[in-house]
């Protein structure tokens, strides 16, 4: 029983991190129909900026977790730069396929650029561990990091939902994702909206980076690649383009992964994650909560 609860809690924690990342994927996909492969690497950018700023914060006497603020700023800037320098020019000339290939290339640029910076280098670095204490409830050990991860994720997701539903810019985002031309006619600045979306998505990745390194205190340049792929699978699973879908998919992937780790074998967990993805896509090609949009001729 304790194993079961432990596995559920681990799954919930992993799932919350995946969900935060998946939200970024899903927002960008909803608005420009592009799988932003570089999104995983925004986590790496966030991870390194946390690695460098946490010690500075601690020295000055500010709590270490506040380092997430500069990390969010750095990530958002990187996200907007990627959109400006790579995606926008390609979107003008190319089709979906060329945009997708650009995204893959951009992910490699970020990973290898980070390695080429001397202060970062190819070797993994160990950041300062935050929220290391654990509490025990009825024999189940729960770390502070777990509680904070789940709580913060829930708050952010709720806030994001209200932001997209109620605020002006959120409304503009929904408009652009529905019909770009009509949005332009309604006086919405499409490029401006896309940039803001990239900024918010990348900022969420910075928060996810904080949660992730609180649990696994290690940063390295390819850390975003696998995390990003899981989160992307989560976004597709839930129905890409749908915010609640991304959360649902993230939690599902987290729980499946931790279940496979606990009960079967840790080296097989990848297989189960992809198997679930494939089965869901076979049955519901648009994902669990996605809308199936017919093709216009």
Partner 1 sequence: MKQTSIKARYLVNLAAALLLFALAVVIGMTGGSTMKLKITPSLWQCSYLIIMAASLNLVLGFLGQLSLGHCGFMAVGAYAASLFSLALQRAGFYTEKSGPAFMLVLLLSFLIAGASAALLGLLVGIPALRLKGDYLAIITLGFGMIIVNLINNLPFCGQQGLSQGSASSALYATGLGFSNDEKMQYLWVAALVVILCMTVMFMFVRSKYGRCIRAIRDNEIAAAASGINVSYYKVMTFTISAFFAGITGTLYACCNASLSTTSFAFTNGSILNSVFIVVMVVVGGMGSLTGSVIAAVVLFLLNYTIKNGAWVAALPAFLQNVFTYPMLVYSIALIVVIMFRPRGIMGSREFALCDIPKWPAWISSYFASRGLEKSAKKEAANHG
- Contact positions vs partner 1 (CB under 8 A): 29, 33, 35, 86, 89-90, 93-98, 100-102, 104-106, 108-109, 111-113, 115-116, 222, 225, 229, 232-233, 236, 240, 265, 267-268, 270-271, 274-275, 277-278, 281-282, 285, 295, 297
Find the shortest distance in angstroms from Cβ 261 to partner 1: 14
Closer to partner 1 by Cβ: residue 60 or 297 = 297
Closer to partner 1 by Cβ: residue 33 or 144 = 33
Residues paired with 281 in a beta bridge = none
Count of C-beta atoms within a 10 Å radius of residue 114: 22
Residue 193 φ then ψ, to 5°: -65, -40
Q: How far apart are alpha carbons 63 and 69 in whole angstroms?
A: 12
Closer to partner 1 by Cβ: residue 87 or 131 = 87
Closer to partner 1 by Cβ: residue 99 or 196 = 99
Find the shortest distance in angstroms from Cβ 295 to partner 1: 7
Find the shortest distance in angstroms from Cβ 132 to partner 1: 32
Q: What is the DSSP letter of 87?
A: I
Find the shortest distance in angstroms from Cβ 279 to partner 1: 9
| Cβ(18)–Cβ(233) below 8 Å | no
Closer to partner 1 by Cβ: residue 55 or 94 = 94
CA distances from 190 to 35, 184, 195 (A): 18, 6, 9
| Cβ(210)–Cβ(50) below 8 Å | yes
- Of 157, 131, 111, nearest in space to 211 by CA: 131
Find the shortest distance in angstroms from Cβ 36 to partner 1: 11
């Amino acid at each position: 029983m304790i194993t079961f609860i432990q596995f559920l809690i681990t799954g919930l924690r992993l799932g919350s991190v995946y969900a935060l990342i998946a939200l970024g994927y899903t927002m960008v996909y909803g608005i420009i129909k592009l799988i932003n492969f570089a999104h995983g690497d925004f986590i790496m950018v966030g991870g390194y900026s946390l690695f460098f700023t946490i010690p500075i914060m601690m020295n000055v006497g500010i709590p270490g977790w506040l380092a997430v603020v500069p990390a969010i700023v750095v990530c958002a800037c990187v996200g907007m730069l990627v959109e400006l320098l790579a995606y926008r020019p390609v979107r003008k000339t190319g089709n979906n396929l060329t945009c997708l290939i650009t995204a893959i290339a951009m992910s490699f640029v970020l990973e290898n650029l980070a390695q080429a910076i001397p202060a970062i280098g190819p070797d993994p670095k160990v950041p300062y561990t935050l929220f290391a204490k654990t509490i025990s409830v009825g024999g189940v050990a729960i770390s502070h990091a777990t509680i904070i991860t789940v709580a913060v994720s829930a708050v952010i997701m709720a806030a994001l939902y209200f932001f997209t539903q109620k605020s002006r810019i959120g409304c503009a985002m929904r408009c652009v994702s529905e019909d770009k031309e009509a949005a332009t006619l309604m006086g919405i600045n499409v490029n401006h909206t896309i940039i803001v979306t990239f900024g918010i998505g990348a900022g969420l990745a910075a928060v996810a980076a904080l949660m992730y390194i609180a649990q696994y205190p290690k940063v390295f340049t390819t850390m975003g690649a696998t995390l990003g792929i899981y989160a992307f699978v989560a976004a597709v699973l839930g129905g890409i383009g749908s915010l609640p879908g991304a959360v649902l998919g993230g939690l599902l992937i987290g729980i499946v992964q931790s279940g496979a780790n606990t009960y079967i074998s840790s080296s097989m967990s990848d297989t189960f994650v992809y198997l679930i993805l494939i089965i869901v896509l076979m049955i519901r090609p648009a994902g669990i909560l996605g809308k199936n949009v017919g093709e216009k001729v």
